Chains A and B, each alone.
Chain A
Amino acid sequence: MRAEAREHAIAARPPLSIGEVLDRQGVLAYVLLFPGLLILTVFIAYPFVTSLWLAVTDQSVSTSGARFIGLENFIGELGSQIFQQTVRNTLVYTAVTVVFKLVLGIALAVLMNQSFRLKNLARAALLLPWIVPTALSAIAWLWLFDATFSVFNWLLVHSGLTTRGINWLGEGGWAMTAIIIANVWRGTPFFAITILAGLQTVDRELLEAASVDGASTWQRFWRITLPLVRPVLLIVLLFSTIWTISDFQLVYVLTRGGPANSTHLLGTLAYDVAVRAGQLSEGAAISLYMFPVLIVCVVALLLYLRRSSTT
């Protein structure tokens, strides 16, 4: 209130110095927002518009002029076998990894929410898969899944479970399994740490009261803890869905989409088409197929945040 009164006093006294103009909130706000908005406009908004334009033309690296061809790129992709396979791969990869990450993440968070020695060290160590560069940890997985020298195969063979090792990255179903394992390994710590932060806000007295009333550990978890951390779970799920559906690095390093396109995701297919084959327009159209899912997640998050900020 006082600051506003001061502003009126300034407004009634022209002419204004630069300093005084900047003290008006409406002007100052846009001056302060300018650098950030400039970068976001040039490198997100403008590319997004460019992407829409590219997708409705036939531009490639080799052609100089682009021709408007309407929705031809989008329709053409729908009929392509590789694209259909890629969409199936992306959905399977996202659905399976997100479920595993959620279940394992909750389990790890509950485990870490107990008191034990060296807790801080354990928490720091368990987050490592999430914080190191994915492209680099994927190299470790590439070696772990090597057809000949895979240590998993060494264990399988030496324990007598199988006579021959698994061709992890060379056979469709196993290649999908391999990238799913690597993704779950990388993403579970994020789920665990975020859910743990949610668990720590749960009132212990509430749990003790329920315990006095005769509720079992399982009942307390299912009826009290889980409903209370539901907001956190929802947000983690939405974030992870967006990140997983748009994943690139793990697949690029481990399989390049192979064998026979069985592990291509939308991101890696768009890269192959746009960058390696130089078909910019087609690649842009493939990327844009992520957009509907993205919109659903964003709208869900915005609605949720609006609701939680009004209540």
Chain B
Amino acid sequence: MTTTASRRLLTVYLPLSLAAILLLFPFYWMLITSIKTNRELIDLSGLPFWVFEPTLEHYRVLFAETGFLRWALNTLIVSVVATAISLACSILAGYTLARLRFRGAGPIGAAIFVTYLVPQTLLFVPLLEVTRQLGLTNTLWSMILTYPTILIPFGTWLLMGYFRSIPRELEESALIDGASRFRAMTQIVLPLALPGILSAGIFSFTLSWNEFIYALVFTTSTDIKTIPVGVVTELVKGDVYFWGSLMAGALLGSVPVALIYSFFVEHYVAGLTAGAVKG
């Protein structure tokens, strides 16, 4: 008995603990840095892994003296609206590609999949020009309208899989009974695809919340920035780093996605692995 127990310690719990320490240490570091006093932060003689005089001063500075709350509101607005637009488009497109027979279905499906693989760094330069032509520069709309290009291809791909897994007969019998295709879709197919829609929604929301390069390039004024861009560009003044407030901002900016994700981890993983495992 003891040999199996020690064997399991060696093959399971020891390597797992090591992995957990390596993967979670930066978060612990963010947390303790954000509650250390400035004096303790630059004290090289003490033990750096613990906080001896915890303080909330950096959080006070973050809320009272920076645009953090404004950035948080911006990030929320952009993420919610971009997710809503993307979900609507993805549901319609996913349903169409999974269910309807029409000319061009193959090429359109492939084209949407290809756009999923287009990285933001390939297109941010021309998009800067395009948003300028459309008069969107330095507005929340520049992000609300461009984020769906990252979200729709993924959402369509994911939901197409869900719609395909719903038996056609359910819908066809409703059509025979005289329901319109719209009613068949909203009352039969959509409720059954709810887990998929939830996965796509959570994934879209976290991707929007985390987006950086478009938000960095399209916005210039402080009150239009999102959390990632605001924290990175505004809390560093010249060469002076406000480490405590930087960490407080980084931590608080990470908490919403971490919370949403921890409530819906199954859906998130389903979204993450949909392409890879089903594909």
Contact = CB atoms under 8 A, between A and B. Distances in A.
Interface of A: 2-3, 6, 19, 22-23, 25-26, 28-30, 32-33, 35-37, 39-40, 42-44, 46-48, 50-51, 54, 108, 111-112, 114, 116, 120, 122-129, 131-144, 148-149, 151, 154, 185, 188-190, 193-194, 197-198, 201, 231-232, 235-236, 239, 242-243, 245-249, 252-253, 266-267, 270-271, 274-275, 280, 283-284, 287-288, 290-291, 294, 297-298, 301-302, 305, 308
Contact of B273 (A39, A120, A197, A284): A197
Given A44-B115, A51-B123, A143-B246, 15 more contacts: A32-B93, A43-B148, A44-B149, A50-B126, A124-B262, A125-B23, A125-B24, A127-B269, A133-B228, A140-B30, A235-B275, A239-B275, A274-B128, A287-B121, A301-B117
A307 to B, nearest CB: 11
A158 to B, nearest CB: 9
12 contacts: A47-B127, A54-B126, A111-B19, A124-B265, A131-B261, A135-B210, A136-B228, A140-B33, A144-B26, A149-B44, A242-B117, A270-B125
A232 B129 CA distance: 38
A55 to B, nearest CB: 9
Contacts, number: 295
B12 A116 contact: yes
Contact of B254 (A37, A137, A142): A137
Contacts of B172: 2-3
Contacts of A127: 261, 265, 268-269
Question: B96, B103, B258 — which one has the most chain A CB atoms within 10 A of its CB?
Answer: B96
Nearest to B232: A135
B223 to A, nearest CB: 19
B30 A126 contact: no
Given A36-B92, A128-B23, A43 B125 contact: no
Contacts of B231: 135-136, 139
B240 interface: no
A232 B20 contact: no
A138 B119 CA distance: 19
The 8 lowest CB-CB distance pairs between A and B, nearest first, are: A246-B119, A267-B121, A36-B89, A29-B102, A51-B126, A50-B126, A135-B228, A136-B250
B189 interface: no
Nearest to A188: B23
A287 B115 contact: no
A272 B148 CA distance: 25
Contacts of B93: 32-33, 36-37
Interface string B247-279: 101110110011001100100110011011101
Given A48-B123, A151-B29, A194-B272, A132 B257 contact: yes
Question: A127, A266, A280, A291 — which one has the most chain B CB atoms within 10 A of its CB?
Answer: A127
B199 to A, nearest CB: 13
A249 B213 contact: yes
Contacts of B19: 108, 111, 126
A50 B130 CA distance: 8
A128 B25 CA distance: 11
Given A133-B227, A301-B117, A291 B125 contact: no
A109 to B, nearest CB: 11
B212 A133 contact: yes
A108 B22 CA distance: 12
B96 A32 contact: yes
A199 B266 CA distance: 17
A203 to B, nearest CB: 15
Contact of A28 (B100, B146, B258): B100
Question: B90, B121, B212 — which one has the most chain A CB atoms within 10 A of its CB?
Answer: B121
Interface stretch (B52-60, B62-70, B175-183): B175-183
A29 B210 contact: no
Contact of A198 (B115, B249, B261, B277): B277
A149 B125 contact: no
Contact of B210 (A54, A133, A148): A133
Contact of A54 (B24, B27, B125, B257): B125
B125 A193 contact: no
Nearest to B147: A43
Contact of A22 (B108, B153, B181): B181
Nearest to A34: B92
Contacts of A298: 114, 117
Given A2-B176, A133-B253, A280 B125 contact: yes
B115 A40 contact: yes
B156 A36 contact: yes
Interface in B88-111: 88-90, 92-93, 95-97, 100-103, 105, 108, 110
A131 B206 contact: yes
Nearest to A266: B121
